[in-house]
């Protein structure tokens, strides 16, 4: 994007000063947006290119380097945030970047020359997250802080304590400050952005900004709901660990119960770095978390000390940044769809291209403001990449390729489904259709109600619901429970058996516990987890309907925003009428999930930890099954753990269980034990 800089050797001193001043100002603006507002204005690789050019300019014209230059400061300026401030006992530095193997070789040559010999290197994945410092006293977590400007960070202790992978108590009573990365797993990032768009909010640009925005919340309940995770990779106090190398430090972190990334590798030849980079360039899409490069560290800790640091970066480490994986394609159309909450979302329809292992033809444009800021027109050639390695996203328009007859794209004024006027609700970026009888919203809402995680009505998918609506057989969720055999036989491809199966599934759904119904009603901001927390607290829908905002917000994991949404929903006359109709249809309106636990179960009262990827189930399903059978499911291994169930890539928990002699099962052993209990998993 910025490859057309004037060659440095051709710049006059005056021109160089002008360009340096301009770049310093530009990068400062971009840095504030990225670090403080968690809303980047440009792509990461474009920022890196500008930054690298400024570094080169300042190296050639050092008389123009100023103390406030982005090259002289670490991270963002935390001083302006509302969070309490923390002065770091030792500066939290950032890493220098290289973008090619040739630059990596140059760094190695400088390092080798400084040391006088070739050192071993520890290779680690560069996690795309937010740097954090964790202080433990006698093994107890007492403080957590962000990097901030490297000297002063923000106190995020309450928020970090909601992150399940970070232990509040180490396995040994040592006093130490450790540093690492808070990140948002890819699945959590995708789920969060889907929810934000449904709520009319601006989606996060990437998992790193999503993690930063989540960690810096003033309300710890919001942080907890965002499902963050962490990896620890550094301490300035290795003597507290008894470690002499970086690889040993990682092993000691794991033994202490701290989360570490198990993909590190020690090498003695610089040529082996290329193999590691090639391996994880290929594997990065398979990882559950985002990475944007590889970190190379001198493995011997005493050599790290000898090499020292500059004002901003350590000389003993370097980050190799992956080049952006992009493709060029052409936007052929912009399609607008209506979600169940009325949010009207634009999607670019493009020529299909291969990207990160999949063929991509569609990319969300999120909302009108986003579309306008990109300046996209039909017929434009655009760059395409995957945000967080999973979500297709348009980067920029290639203006040089724009057709001469192209016209500015006009944002629609009316709903594409019902032709009602669209509105901008204050505080939202989305366009909304507020017509309660909009056919698209009704269909999306009914599909959600019947979905697996809601009322789980098998056989009632989008196609069937579309037929039922078109035939005027249903109008809302309550009318589903008045369908009969004669009506269903009128549907396309419905015979006696399929009708019987659907009616059986509808009848079975009447007995669901309240949390499924609450989730299925499609109340804004109410996901499956929030629905269960609310149902478990209030026990029946009548109590929920009369609860105050304060009553609901006091539930751990539920904030005031969600509470307002629930109260507003049940205040509507239409909602009250719907609940009455569901009651008359004998749909259960009570919380039924209290399980009578068999004390003779093998799992009763056992402390069990899950780790790794489960192939035959999922962590939440396995956790609930274990809890229903009397197990105490914990997040970390200790000497008191009775059993570790290890899926693929068990990592540090598996290593620690081996060290402590904890009983370990494979997933298949767990499945076999479930079968013995006589209950399906």
Domain shared by 290 and 342, yes or no: no
Higher pLDDT, 80 or 346: 346
CATH code, 624: 3.40.50.10190
Out of 72, 97, 125, a domain closes at 72
Evaluate whether 261 touches 289 at the Cβ level (below 8 Å): no
Q: What is the pLDDT of residues 323-337, one digit of tens each?
A: 877 889 999 999 999
**Percentages (nearest 5) of helix, strand, coil residues in the chain:** 40, 20, 40
In this structure, is residue 482 part of a structural domain?
A: yes
Domain shared by 503 and 545, yes or no: yes
Residue the block writes with tokens 């929810």: 195
pLDDT value of residue 89: 87
In this structure, is residue 207 part of a structural domain?
A: yes
Evaluate whether 146 touches 131 at the Cβ level (below 8 Å): yes
Evaluate whether 364 touches 347 at the Cβ level (below 8 Å): yes
pLDDT value of residue 399: 93
Average pLDDT over every residue of 190-197: 81
Least confident of 235-239, 298-302, 644-648, 675-679: 675-679
Catalytic residue among 10, 37, 80, 126: 126
Indicate the average pLDDT of the chain.
86
Q: 420: alpha, beta or left, given left = phi > 0 and alpha = psi -120 to 50?
A: beta
C-alpha torsion sign, points 38, 44, 50, 52: positive
Domain shared by 575 and 612, yes or no: no
Domain shared by 479 and 347, yes or no: no
In this structure, is residue 599 part of a structural domain?
A: no
pLDDT higher than 60, residue 285: yes
Higher pLDDT, 598 or 579: 579
Q: Report how far residue 531's alpha carbon sits from residue 611's, in angstroms, rounded to the nearest whole number.
A: 26
Out of 272, 292, 321, a domain closes at 321
Domain shared by 565 and 507, yes or no: yes
Q: What is the pLDDT of residues 173-183, one digit of tens each?
A: 999 999 999 99
In this structure, is residue 602 part of a structural domain?
A: no
pLDDT value of residue 680: 39
CATH code, 33: 1.10.287.610
Burial class for 76, CB neighbours closer than 10 Å (0-12, 13-18, 19+): buried
Residue 653 structural domain: 607-677
Single pTM value for the model: 0.56
Residue 122 carries which DSSP code? E
Distances (CA, A) of 330 to 384, 404, 407, 461, 560: 10, 15, 15, 33, 43
Q: Where are the alpha helices (DSSP H) in 585-678?
A: 619-628, 651-660, 667-677
pLDDT value of residue 110: 93
Of 15-24, 73-82, 375-384, 652-661, where does the model show the most confidence? 375-384
Cβ density class 55-65: b for 16+ within 10 Å, e for less:
bebbeebeebe
Domain shared by 151 and 56, yes or no: no
Least confident of 321-335, 533-547, 592-606: 592-606
Q: What is the pLDDT of residues 378-413, one digit of tens each?
A: 999 999 987 756 678 898 899 999 999 999 999 999
Q: Known catalytic residue: 113?
A: no
CATH code, 341: 2.40.50.140
Total domains present in the chain = 5
Out of 17, 39, 72, a domain closes at 72
Higher pLDDT, 401 or 195: 401
pLDDT value of residue 1: 47
Domain shared by 186 and 268, yes or no: yes
Domain shared by 189 and 297, yes or no: yes
In this structure, is residue 1 part of a structural domain?
A: no
CATH code, 471: 1.10.150.20
In this structure, is residue 601 part of a structural domain?
A: no
Q: Give 348's pLDDT tier (boundaries 50, 70, 90).
A: very high
Q: What is the pLDDT of residues 20-79, one digit of tens each?
A: 888 888 888 877 766 655 566 766 667 777 877 887 887 788 788 787 787 776 554 444
Domain shared by 155 and 223, yes or no: yes
Domain shared by 404 and 521, yes or no: no
Domain shared by 171 and 37, yes or no: no
Evaluate whether 251 touches 235 at the Cβ level (below 8 Å): no
Q: What is the pLDDT of residues 407-464, one digit of tens each?
A: 999 999 999 989 988 988 777 788 888 787 788 888 989 999 998 888 999 889 899 9
pLDDT value of residue 79: 44
State both tokens at 554. Answer: 């006091």
pLDDT higher than 90, residue 543: yes
Residue 66 carries which DSSP code? -
Tally: H helices and E strands in the chain? 24, 22
In this structure, is residue 454 part of a structural domain?
A: yes
Domain shared by 538 and 575, yes or no: yes
pLDDT value of residue 44: 65
In this structure, is residue 423 part of a structural domain?
A: no
Q: What is the pLDDT of residues 507-523, one digit of tens each?
A: 999 999 999 999 999 88
- Please state at what angle helix 573-584 crosses helix 560-571, rounded to 10 degrees: 70
pLDDT value of residue 517: 95
CATH code, 105: 3.30.470.30
Closest alpha carbon to 365 in 411, 308, 318, 309: 411
């Amino acid at each position: 994007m910025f490859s057309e800089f004037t060659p440095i050797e051709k710049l006059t001193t005056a021109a160089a000063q002008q360009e340096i001043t301009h770049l310093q100002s530009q990068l400062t603006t971009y840095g504030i947006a990225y670090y403080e507002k968690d809303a980047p204005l440009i792509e990461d690789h474009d920022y890196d290119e500008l930054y690298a050019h400024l570094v080169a300019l300042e190296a050639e014209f050092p008389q123009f380097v100023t103390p406030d230059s982005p090259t002289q400061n670490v991270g963002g300026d935390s001083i302006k945030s509302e969070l309490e401030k923390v002065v770091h006992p030792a500066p939290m530095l950032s890493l220098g970047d290289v973008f090619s193997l040739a630059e990596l070789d140059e760094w190695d040559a400088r390092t080798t020359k400084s040391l006088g010999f070739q050192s071993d290197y520890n290779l680690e994945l560069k996690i795309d997250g937010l740097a954090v410092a964790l202080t433990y006293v006698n093994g107890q977590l007492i403080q957590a802080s962000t990097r901030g400007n490297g000297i002063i960070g923000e106190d995020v202790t309450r928020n970090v304590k909601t992150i399940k992978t970070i232990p509040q108590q180490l396995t040994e009573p040592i006093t130490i400050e450790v540093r690492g990365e808070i990140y948002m797993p890819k699945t959590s990032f995708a789920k969060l952005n889907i929810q934000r768009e449904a709520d009319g909010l601006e989606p996060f640009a990437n998992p790193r900004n999503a993690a930063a925005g989540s960690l810096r919340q003033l309300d710890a309940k919001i942080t907890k709901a965002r499902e963050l995770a962490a990896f620890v990779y550094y301490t300035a106090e290795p003597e507290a660990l008894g470690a002499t190398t970086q690889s040993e430090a990682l092993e000691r972190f794991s033994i202490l119960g701290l989360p570490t990334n198990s993909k590190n590798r020690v090498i003695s030849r610089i040529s082996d770095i290329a193999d590691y980079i090639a391996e994880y360039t290929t594997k990065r899409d398979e990882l559950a978390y985002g990475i944007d490069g590889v970190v190379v560290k001198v493995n011997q800790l005493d050599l790290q000390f000898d090499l020292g640091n500059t004002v901003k970066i350590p000389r003993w480490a370097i980050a190799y940044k992956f080049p952006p994986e992009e493709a060029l394609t052409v936007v052929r159309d912009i399609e607008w769809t209506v979600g169940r909450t009325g949010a009207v979302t634009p999607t670019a329809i493009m020529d299909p291209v291969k990207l990160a292992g999949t063929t991509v033809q569609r990319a969300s444009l999120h909302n009108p403001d986003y579309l306008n800021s990109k300046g996209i027109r039909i017929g434009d050639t655009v760059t395409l990449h995957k945000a967080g390695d999973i979500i297709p996203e348009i980067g920029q328009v290639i203006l040089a390729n724009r057709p001469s007859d192209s016209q500015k794209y006009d944002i629609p004024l009316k709903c594409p489904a019902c032709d009602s006027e669209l509105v901008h609700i204050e505080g939202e970026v989305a366009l909304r259709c507020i017509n309660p009888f909009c056919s698209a919203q009704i269909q999306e809402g009914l599909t959600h109600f019947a979905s697996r995680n809601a009322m789980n009505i098998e056989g009632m998918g989008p196609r069937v619901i579309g037929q039922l609506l078109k035939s005027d057989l249903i109008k809302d969720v309550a009318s589903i429970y008045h369908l009969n055999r004669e009506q269903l036989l009128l549907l396309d491809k419905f015979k006696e058996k399929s009708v019987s199966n659907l009616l059986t599934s509808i009848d079975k759904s009447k007995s669901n516990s309240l949390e499924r119904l609450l989730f299925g009603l499609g109340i804004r901001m109410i996901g499956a987890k929030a629905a269960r927390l609310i149902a478990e607290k209030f026990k029946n829908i009548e109590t929920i309907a009369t609860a105050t905002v304060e009553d609901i917000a006091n539930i751990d994991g539920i904030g005031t925003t969600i509470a307002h949404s629930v109260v507003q929903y049940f205040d509507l006359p239409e909602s009250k009428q719907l609940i009455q109709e569901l009651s008359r249809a004998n749909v259960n309106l009570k919380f039924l999930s209290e399980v009578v636990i068999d004390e003779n179960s093998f799992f009763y009262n056992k402390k069990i930890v899950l780790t790794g990827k489960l192939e035959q189930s999922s962590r939440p399903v396995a956790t609930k099954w274990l809890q229903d059978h009397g197990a105490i499911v914990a997040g970390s291994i200790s000497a008191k753990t009775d059993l570790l169930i290890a899926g693929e890539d068990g990592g540090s928990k598996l290593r620690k269980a081996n060290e402590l002699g904890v009983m370990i099962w494979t997933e298949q052993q767990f499945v076999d034990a479930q079968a013995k209990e006589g209950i399906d998993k």
